[in-house]
């Protein structure tokens, strides 16, 4: 057996092992995606999809305020949700990692993500009940005499944001926590030895080192949030539409696949921009 | 979450206990497997047809499994049909006003007129103009109701509800929910303009848009069935424009204060028709299903099915309904309601697009 | 000293508040699943098991439950197997363009589920493929494969290579090495990938909604239940799923605690 044939055999084997996953991804992800991209350049006329290349769908997107506003709403809500979730989750992850005794940390984490295991659809619906005018929150607040009139939260952007933040706090707590516990205490000791106070240590040492965890979580939050249909549909009261709702309208009410495809590509571009912004912190590395 | 478990024996124990748990759970779940039926019937329907109390008697009597796919709105139904192959569907339930759209698309099969209980159907909802073409019958009305004004009578003055213009005004601003289905709502906006639903045209679009904007300004939310119900039941809103018996009847036991009325200007009447698909390979069975649905027993079950209650089209269904059910449906007051209401608008494809665009635009305001 | 007390006081208060926020909807959900009445909103009228009975009597709901289980388990198995093979190949052999392949395998993770579902739906329509649980499963493998690949790939260290080489020198075939040496060594991450996949598939809505027809998964069935209005039955099925998941989690925890004590 010569070296070259062994290499060839190895290479064949390697391709053989990787092939199923690669082919699956090509067949059921790349091809459909390209097909959809092509379709976004077709047009629906009457009940027929006309396969003539054109940019009408995109032109319509930029000329119709209702559609453009959908993207703006999506971006605003997603950014608000991402920022709020990070701000809420970071202290939580930090307290679990630093204040909670080691042997209870697992328990604390599991508790923090337990509601994650209720059905997603049911969870949104449950928020609807919690936030409604006679819901638990208003009953509690008026009962305590904190407010005289019930708060109008349900069916607003606030409700959508609360529903989202609830979900993503759980997700971000996980990614940030796993990053925090990997930090060697030596860094902090070194910083303290150099005369840094607790805040300086945090700002100049801990925070930069946990940035990858934050960014990974934030990016995931962005992707999942901007593409979600369920939460705004149940909690938003249709007071403003986000892009996924508009996409579902195109599909469900008028079977306008090309328009839905064009809007999806636009949604995709938004995610790509976010990816480029976070790319330097997002890596998968082998142990 | 489950980092670094290096103990193999421990892992195996853990894995087997999880597997055992999963198997126990799976076996518990798959117990109530229904008896194996020989034939299947595929029906595209509104959600009220999915009540087992309605479908199971038919399945048992004919040894057939009825597969139901639920949609909301004719656009959605046509969209699903677009994505199907010919022969995928045997039965179609569709808004009465859209039957001709389906006929023109060559979707529906002709049904022998003598197979249907036409004489028993309330004359006002027979809708021959809609269900037939060139003397051939393609569909039959099965259920009807109203998109009108539902309200909480302990919170608003019922007298105000007699005047539709109140929903375009500031009087109940922020206490109104709008039902999220563009066709009846545009019909109501048209009534607000004093226009008949059948006469709405492209020329009315600017005025309609203005009316919709007024409605929007007075409302708190635009919502689907569950959010609307939640909002009414929790006092989030006190009025639901576009609602009717179909949204309040199921709540009547728990929320006796919920009521509905048809204002002086009138309201919109909806009607569902059912027909056999032309490309169905099971024409006889499909027809049998249609006959069952419009039979007095089927009609009584359909009228009180779990998704929403509404009036049966067959007047004989009354014999199979209890008095409280009839009261909730207001079975004996229909003559007056029928007189005061108009059917959904029937837009051309072009106008339908404009309706939808106007609705989306209104949502984003 | 005083400062420390203050800091820890703030910490614990914060912890309590966030946990309250996290558990609020779940607590409300469970409480009102016992509602005696048609409306799962305050006031609480009294304790009743009627909605749980209704859930178990609901044939469609039970069918959806077993459909969900079927899709979740089978799509996760496929994802793990494909992910493992690909991770093995990319970690052990230096193939040309391996960065590109990694990128391709991870790519679906950065795309919204809605877009994946739309693309598949468009393609399936064009090919006249009927929708079924199978198409839902295919979609779920697309979203879970990147996850499984990433988790397993990340745990493939070079220190395992020597053990694999030893096995090969003793005459074991590649598949034997993989099945009897590599896979057991990587079992923790494979299991983590598997359970994460099951969780995602179990709870996934939009793909299951767009790619299914008559047989639907639980989230889709719950969605259509919601279309027909408020119903404590929705609370009951939600609570049941939650309790079952917690039970599963506890089983996991117990096994893991056993380990920690031993070590």
Q: Is pLDDT of A210 > 80?
A: yes
Q: Is the pTM of this model over 0.90?
A: no
Per-residue pLDDT, averaged over C23-49, amounts to 87
- Residues B236 and B227 sit within 8 Å (Cβ to Cβ): no
Per-residue pLDDT, averaged over B237-244, amounts to 92
pLDDT in tens, B182-230: 999 999 999 999 999 989 999 999 999 999 999 999 998 898 877 788 7
Measured from the Cβ of residue B333, the count of other Cβ atoms closer than 10 Å reads: 11
Cβ within 8 Å, pair C154-A123: no
The interface residues of chain B toward chain C in range 20-39, judged by CB-CB distance below 8 A, are: 21-22, 25-26, 29-30, 32, 34
Per-residue pLDDT, averaged over C116-141, amounts to 92
Most C CBs within 10 A among A126, A139, A217, A278, hence the mutation to make, goes to A126
Q: Please tell me the distance in Å from C11's CA to the nearest CA on chain A.
A: 6
Most C CBs within 10 A among A11, A14, A125, hence the mutation to make, goes to A125
pLDDT at B233: 82
Q: Which chains touch A (3 or more CB pairs under 8 A)?
A: B, C
The interface residues of chain A toward chain C in range 25-84, judged by CB-CB distance below 8 A, are: 25-26, 28-33, 35-36, 39
pLDDT at B245: 85
Q: Write down the architecture of domain A40-111+156-281 according to CATH.
A: Orthogonal Bundle (1.10)
pLDDT at B2: 37
For chain A, the average pLDDT equals 86
Confidence of residue A283 (pLDDT cuts 50, 70, 90): low
pLDDT at A255: 77
Which part of chain B is CATH 3.40.190.10? 39-144+270-334, 145-269+344-363
Spell out the domain ranges in chain A.
40-111+156-281
For chain C, the average pLDDT equals 87
Radius of gyration of chain B (CA): 23
pLDDT at B7: 41
Q: Chain C partners of B22 at a C-beta cutoff of 8 Å?
A: 69, 73
Nearest CA to B176 among B187, B195, B160?
A: B160
Q: Is pLDDT of A284 > 70?
A: no
Distance CA A61, CA A68 (A): 6
Angle of helix A102-113 relative to helix C232-262, nearest 10 degrees, comes to 160
- C145 within domain boundaries: yes
Q: Please tell me the distance in Å from C41's CA to the nearest CA on chain A.
A: 6
pLDDT in tens, A241-275: 999 999 998 887 777 889 999 999 999 999 888 88
Interface predicted TM-score of the whole assembly (ipTM), two decimals: 0.88
| Lowest-pLDDT range of A101-110, B98-107, C209-218 | A101-110
Cβ within 8 Å, pair A122-C145: no
Domain boundaries, position C238: 34-262
Return the number of CB contacts < 8 Å for A and C.
256
pLDDT in tens, C45-69: 889 999 999 999 888 899 999 999 9
Could you tell me which residue, A119 or A86, shows the higher pLDDT? A86
Instruction: Report the percent of chain C where pLDDT is more than 70.
Output: 96
- In C34-97, which residue ranges form alpha helices assigned H by DSSP? 50-57, 59-92
| Lowest-pLDDT range of B66-75, B159-168, C71-80, C108-117 | B66-75
Residue B327 at interface with chain C, using a CB cutoff of 8 Å: no
- For chain C, the domain total comes to 1
Could you tell me which residue, B34 or A213, shows the higher pLDDT? A213
Query: What dotted CATH number matches B145-269+344-363?
Result: 3.40.190.10
Q: How many CA atoms lie within 13 A of A31 on its CB side?
A: 13
Per-residue pLDDT, averaged over A55-65, amounts to 91
| Lowest-pLDDT range of A203-217, B114-128, B158-172, C203-217 | A203-217
Cβ within 8 Å, pair B364-A253: no
The string of DSSP letters for C14-26 reads HHHHHHHHHHHHH
| Lowest-pLDDT range of A134-138, B24-28, B85-89, B155-159 | B24-28
pLDDT at A5: 54
Please name the residue of chain B whose CA is at the shortest distance from the CA of residue C63. Answer: B30
Tokens for C251?
Answer: 């089983």
The string of DSSP letters for A114-168 reads GGGGS-HHHHHHHHHHHHSTTSHHHHHHHHTTS-SS----TTSHHHHHHHHHHHH
Instruction: Report the percent of chain B where pLDDT is more than 90.
Output: 53
Cβ within 8 Å, pair A252-B221: no
pLDDT in tens, B46-63: 988 988 899 999 999 999
Domain CATH for C108: 1.10.3720.10
Q: Please tell me the distance in Å from B246's CA to the nearest CA on chain A.
A: 20
Please name the residue of chain A whose CA is at the shortest distance from the CA of residue B225. Answer: A234
Q: Measure CB to CB from residue B221 to each of A134, A135, A238 and give the nearest one.
A: A238
Distance CA B39, CA B309 (A): 29
Per-residue pLDDT, averaged over A28-48, amounts to 89
pLDDT at A246: 93
pLDDT at B22: 47
Q: Measure CB to CB from residue A66 to each of B220, B223, B364 and give the nearest one.
A: B364
Which range of B83-97, B272-286, C152-166 scores highest in mean pLDDT? It is: B272-286
Q: Chain B partners of A253 at a C-beta cutoff of 8 Å?
A: 73, 75-76, 79, 356
Confidence of residue B315 (pLDDT cuts 50, 70, 90): very high
Cβ within 8 Å, pair A267-C114: yes
Q: Chain A partners of C239 at a C-beta cutoff of 8 Å?
A: 118
| Lowest-pLDDT range of A109-118, B281-290, C200-209 | A109-118
The string of DSSP letters for B314-336 reads BGGGGGGS-HHHHHHHTGGGHHH
The residue assigned the tokens 């563009």 is B182
Q: Write down the architecture of domain B39-144+270-334 according to CATH.
A: 3-Layer(aba) Sandwich (3.40)
- C230 within domain boundaries: yes
Most C CBs within 10 A among B22, B23, B50, B83, hence the mutation to make, goes to B83
Residue C255 at interface with chain B, using a CB cutoff of 8 Å: yes
Angle of helix C113-126 relative to helix C133-154, nearest 10 degrees, comes to 130
Confidence of residue C104 (pLDDT cuts 50, 70, 90): very high
Tokens for C131?
Answer: 């929708």
Q: Please tell me the distance in Å from C191's CA to the nearest CA on chain A.
A: 17
Handedness of CA B312, B318, B320, B324 (dihedral sign): positive
Please name the residue of chain C whose CA is at the shortest distance from the CA of residue A107. Answer: C253
H helix count then E strand count, chain B: 15, 13
In sequence order, the 6+-apart residues with CB closer than 8 A to the CB of A54 are A41, A42, A43
- C79 within domain boundaries: yes
- C76 within domain boundaries: yes
Q: Is pLDDT of B166 > 60?
A: yes
- C214 within domain boundaries: yes
Cβ within 8 Å, pair C187-B8: yes
pLDDT in tens, B9-47: 444 444 444 444 444 444 444 444 444 567 899 999 998
In sequence order, the 6+-apart residues with CB closer than 8 A to the CB of C43 are none
Buried b (16+ CB within 10 A) or exposed e, B62-75: bebbbbbbbbbbbb
């Amino acid at each position: 057996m010569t070296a070259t044939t062994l290499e060839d055999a190895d290479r064949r084997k390697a391709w053989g092992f990787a092939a199923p996953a690669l082919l699956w991804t090509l067949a059921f992800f790349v091809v459909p995606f390209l097909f959809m991209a092509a379709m976004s350049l077709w047009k629906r006329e009457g009940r027929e999809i006309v396969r003539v290349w054109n940019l009408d769908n995109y032109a319509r997107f930029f000329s119709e305020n209702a559609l453009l506003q959908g993207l703006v709403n999506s971006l605003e809500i997603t950014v608000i949700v991402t920022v709020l979730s990070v701000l809420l989750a970071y202290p939580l992850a930090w307290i679990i990692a630093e204040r909670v005794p080691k042997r209870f940390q697992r328990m604390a984490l599991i508790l923090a993500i337990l509601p994650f295991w209720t059905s997603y659809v049911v969870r949104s619906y449950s928020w609807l009940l919690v936030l409604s005018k006679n819901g638990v929150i208003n009953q509690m607040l008026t009962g305590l005499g904190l407010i005289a009139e019930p708060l109008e939260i349900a069916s607003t952007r606030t409700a959508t944001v609360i529903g989202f933040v609830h979900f993503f706090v759980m997700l971000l707590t996980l990614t940030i926590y796993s990053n925090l516990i990997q930090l060697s205490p030596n860094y902090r000791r070194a910083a303290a030895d150099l005369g840094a106070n607790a805040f300086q240590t945090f700002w100049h040492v801990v925070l930069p080192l946990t940035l990858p965890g934050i960014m990974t979580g934030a990016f995931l939050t962005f992707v999942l949030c901007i593409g979600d249909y369920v939460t705004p549909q149940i909690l938003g009261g249709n007071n403003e539409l986000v892009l996924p709702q508009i996409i579902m309208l195109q599909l469900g009410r008028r079977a306008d696949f090309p328009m839905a495809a064009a809007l999806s590509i636009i949604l995709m571009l938004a995610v790509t921009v976010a990816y480029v912004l976070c790319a330097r912190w997002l890596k998968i590395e082998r142990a | 979450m489950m980092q670094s478990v290096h103990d193999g024996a421990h892992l195996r124990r853990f894995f087997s206990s999880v597997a055992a748990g999963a198997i126990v759970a799976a076996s518990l779940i798959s117990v109530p497997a229904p008896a194996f039926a020989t034939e299947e019937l595929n029906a595209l329907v509104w959600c009220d047809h999915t009540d087992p109390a309605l479908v199971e008697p038919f399945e048992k009597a004919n040894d057939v499994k009825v597969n139901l796919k639920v949609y909301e709105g004719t656009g959605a139904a046509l969209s699903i049909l677009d994505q199907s192959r010919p022969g995928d569907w045997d039965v179609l339930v569709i808004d009465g006003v859209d039957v001709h759209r389906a006929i023109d698309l060559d979707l529906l099969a002709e049904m022998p007129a003598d197979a249907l209980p036409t004489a028993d159907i309330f004359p006002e909802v027979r809708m021959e103009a809609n269900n037939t073409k060139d003397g051939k019958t393609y569909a039959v009305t099965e259920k009807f109701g109203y998109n009108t004004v539902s309200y909480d009578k302990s919170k608003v003055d019922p007298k105000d509800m007699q005047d539709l213009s109140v929903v375009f005004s500031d009087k109940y601003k922020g206490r109104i929910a709008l039902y999220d289905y563009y066709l009846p709502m545009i019909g109501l906006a048209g009534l607000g303009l004093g226009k008949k639903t059948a006469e709405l045209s492209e020329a009315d679009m600017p005025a309609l848009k203005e009316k919709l904007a007024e409605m929007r300004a007075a409302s708190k939310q635009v919502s689907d069935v569950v959010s609307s119900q939640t909002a009414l039941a929790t006092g989030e809103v006190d009025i639901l424009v576009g609602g009717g018996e179909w949204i309040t009847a199921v709540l009547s036991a728990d929320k006796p204060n919920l009521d509905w009325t048809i204002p002086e200007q009138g309201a919109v009447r909806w009607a569902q028709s059912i027909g056999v698909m032309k490309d169905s390979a099971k024409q006889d069975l499909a027809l049998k299903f249609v006959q069952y649905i419009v039979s007095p027993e089927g009609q009584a079950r359909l009228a009180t099915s779990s998704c929403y209650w509404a009036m049966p089209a067959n007047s004989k269904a009354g014999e199979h309904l209890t008095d409280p059910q009839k009261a909730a449906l207001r079975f004996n007051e229909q003559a007056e309601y029928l007189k005061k209401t108009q059917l959904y608008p029937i837009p051309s494809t072009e106008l339908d697009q404009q309706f939808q665009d106007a609705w989306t635009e209104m949502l984003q305001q | 000293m005083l400062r420390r007390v203050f800091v820890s006081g703030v910490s614990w208060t914060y912890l309590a508040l966030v946990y309250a926020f996290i558990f609020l909807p779940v607590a409300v959900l469970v409480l009102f699943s016992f509602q005696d009445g048609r409306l799962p909103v305050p006031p609480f009228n009294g304790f009743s098991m009627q909605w749980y009975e209704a859930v178990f009597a609901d044939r469609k709901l039970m069918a959806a439950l077993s459909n969900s289980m079927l899709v979740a388990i089978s799509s996760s198995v496929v994802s793990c197997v494909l992910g493992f093979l690909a991770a093995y190949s990319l970690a052990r052999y230096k193939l040309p363009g391996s960065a590109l392949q990694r990128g391709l395998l991870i790519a679906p993770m950065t795309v919204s589920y809605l877009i994946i579902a739309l693309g598949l739906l468009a393609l399936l329509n064009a090919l006249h493929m009927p929708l079924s649980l199978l198409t839902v499963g295919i979609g779920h493998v697309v979203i879970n494969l990147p996850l499984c690949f990433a988790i397993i790939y990340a745990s493939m260290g070079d220190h395992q290579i020597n053990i694999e080489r030893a096995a090969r020198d003793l005459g074991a075939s590649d598949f034997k090495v993989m099945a009897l040496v590599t896979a057991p060594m990587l079992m923790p991450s494979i299991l983590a990938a598997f359970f994460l996949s099951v969780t995602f598939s179990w709870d996934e809505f939009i793909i299951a909604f767009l790619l299914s027809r008559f047989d639907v998964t639980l989230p889709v069935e719950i969605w259509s239940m919601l279309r027909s209005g408020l119903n404590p039955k929705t609370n009951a099925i939600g609570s049941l799923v939650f309790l079952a998941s917690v039970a599963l989690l506890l089983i996991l925890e117990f096994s893991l605690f056993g380990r920690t004590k031993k070590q």
